Chains A and B, each alone.
Chain A
Amino acid sequence: MIAAIVPAAGRSERMGRPKLILPIGGVSVIARVTTALREGGADPVIVVVSPAWVPGAAALAAEAARAGGSVVVAPQPPPDMRASVELGLDRLAQVPAPSPATFLLAPGDCPGIDAPLVARVIARAVAEPLAIIIPQARGRRGHPVALPWPLAAEIRTLPGDVGINHLVARHAAQVVSIEVDDPVMLDDLDTPEDYRRWSSAALDEGGPENDHEDDHREERIVRVTVRLFAMARQQAGRAAVDLDVPEPATVANVKRALAVACPELARLVPQLMIAIDADYVRDEERPIPPGAEVAAIPPVSGGWHHERARSAP
């Protein structure tokens, strides 16, 4: 399994508005990139976003999660891309699996990344786990980049004022380029002019410009009904509780709101699993889709917290 880290906490200064939730061909930039990484074989796809009070950040987190991303919300807006990458690496280190041999890095503002390119980079990285794999067209470098895991540790040791490019320069001998036919695939999205170009390119592809995204979504409160069972139901004295949760209504936010609304459950809440539409959710940052059925699941008698691998031998 090769994970991808998507730094998506930039301030979109040159665009003048949150660029990663802009639609291209009817799909937000962040959803395009997340989907391409997943379909190309990356798992998990860790998207690092700014805290919800940053304009557009909540919508961005929701879009990334809807596309299957595993969202990491930075406690403070990360000052640079490297800081976002480090938060992504922290999350990756928590995944209970052997350290990966390599991981992908793909900034959110690269709408040209598609699944076949991701698959090529992954295939090459699997074949050469010690190489830095970089897509390139006519000498210009792009993303996603595959970095060997040992370099992850090195990112933290870089001097404060240098970026990840410095790491690539330091290990130039390990770089393996993958040639990409269409240099446009490596273009990023920084300015309104870039956006016009990407949008019209998507129109040329026949993709309808279906701009249903609300670029400047306000902070909102969502009503979430949580079903309660067993000890939780008995202690709360009811089988369901309505919660007002600030957007994004992540699993973590719902648990927090549950402990506030039902103080008698405070002791139990950390032990509860949340199920969305009858499936356990392990990612606490996952937003709850509107209309989903949400349930608080106390540990079952066999004990999910010492759950063995679910798959049969």
Chain B
Amino acid sequence: MIEITEAPIDHAALTERVRSNLAGAVCTFLGTVRELTAQRRTARLEYEAYPEMALKKMTELEAEARRHWPIIEIALVHRVGRLDLGEVSVVVAVSCPHRQQAFEACQWLIDTLKEVVPIWKKEVWADGGEEWVHPGIEPPPR
């Protein structure tokens, strides 16, 4: 299952959804909103997607992962919009016959998702500043 949603993600339901009698291992990764980045305090994050392309790239990631690991079920869900501290921004859940496969597939999926899926986040700092997180681009001076 692949989804981009503005609603809070029920990660327990997603984990339950990928469970299977064929699987000996389920691996679920959650990305969550962290309060501190290099001593600076975050108030909230705002995520923005190019939804059509993001869904297409996520579908490609699923297909690529299935070519390399014996994945039984998979869930890739990303939240967009405004997220408060501690909330879940992304879930990757996979089930495989063995744990090594599940760990590897899960890690590859989240790493690659963060590199190629067009979803961006804006830090809204507790001190009132805001900045888009675009690696390689310096934020304008505060």
Smallest CB-CB separation from A301: which chain B residue?
Answer: B133
- Residue A297, interface by CB 8 Å: yes
- Residue A271, interface by CB 8 Å: yes
Q: How far is the CB of A85 from chain B (nearest CB, A)?
A: 35
Which listed residue, A230, A234, A278, touches B53 by the CB 8 Å rule?
A278
Chain A positions 283 through 313: 1 when the CB is less than 8 Å from some CB of chain B, otherwise 0:
0000000000101011111111111101111
Smallest CB-CB separation from B53: which chain A residue?
Answer: A278
* Bound Cα distance from A97 to B132, whole angstroms: 32
- Residue B2, interface by CB 8 Å: no
- Residue A195, interface by CB 8 Å: no
- Residue B34, interface by CB 8 Å: no
- Residue A231, interface by CB 8 Å: yes
B137 touches A227 (CB 8 A): no
Residues of B within 8 A of A313 (CB): 68, 104, 108
Residues of B within 8 A of A233 (CB): 48
B108 touches A312 (CB 8 A): yes
B136 touches A229 (CB 8 A): no
Chain B positions 109 through 130: 1 when the CB is less than 8 Å from some CB of chain A, otherwise 0:
0011111111111100000000
- Residue B135, interface by CB 8 Å: yes
Known: A300-B114, A301-B120, A310-B112. A231 touches B53 (CB 8 A): no
Residues of B within 8 A of A302 (CB): 111-116, 135
Which listed residue, B64, B108, B115, touches A300 by the CB 8 Å rule?
B115
Which listed residue, B50, B67, B137, touches A231 by the CB 8 Å rule?
B137
Within 8 A of A (CB), among B41-66: 48, 50, 52-53, 56-57, 64-65
- Residue B134, interface by CB 8 Å: yes
Which listed residue, A278, A280, A299, A312, touches B136 by the CB 8 Å rule?
A299
A304 touches B53 (CB 8 A): no
Known: A230-B48, A307-B116, A311-B64. A301 touches B122 (CB 8 A): no
Known: A268-B137, A299-B137. A229 touches B67 (CB 8 A): no
A300 touches B56 (CB 8 A): no
* Bound Cα distance from A313 to B107, whole angstroms: 12
B136 touches A271 (CB 8 A): yes
Q: Which of B65, B108, B116 has the most CB of A within 10 A?
A: B116
A301 touches B135 (CB 8 A): yes
Q: How far is the CB of B94 from chain A (nearest CB, A)?
A: 12
B108 touches A231 (CB 8 A): no
Residues of A within 8 A of B137 (CB): 231, 268, 271, 298-299
A300 touches B65 (CB 8 A): no
Residues of A within 8 A of B53 (CB): 275, 278-279, 295, 297
Residues of B within 8 A of A275 (CB): 50, 53, 118
Smallest CB-CB separation from B56: which chain A residue?
Answer: A278
Smallest CB-CB separation from B122: which chain A residue?
Answer: A230
Chain B positions 92 through 116: 1 when the CB is less than 8 Å from some CB of chain A, otherwise 0:
0000000000001000100111111
Within 8 A of A (CB), among B67-82: 67-69
A312 touches B68 (CB 8 A): yes
Residues of A within 8 A of B50 (CB): 227, 229, 275, 278, 295, 297
Residues of A within 8 A of B64 (CB): 310-312
B112 touches A300 (CB 8 A): no
A-B contact pairs, 14 of them (CB 8 A): A278-B56, A278-B57, A295-B53, A301-B135, A302-B113, A302-B115, A303-B114, A303-B115, A306-B135, A310-B116, A312-B65, A312-B69, A312-B108, A313-B68
**B-binding residues in A (CB < 8 A):** 227, 229-231, 233-234, 268, 271, 275, 278-280, 293, 295, 297-308, 310-313
* Nearest 5 interchain pairs by C-beta: A302-B114, A230-B120, A303-B135, A312-B68, A278-B53
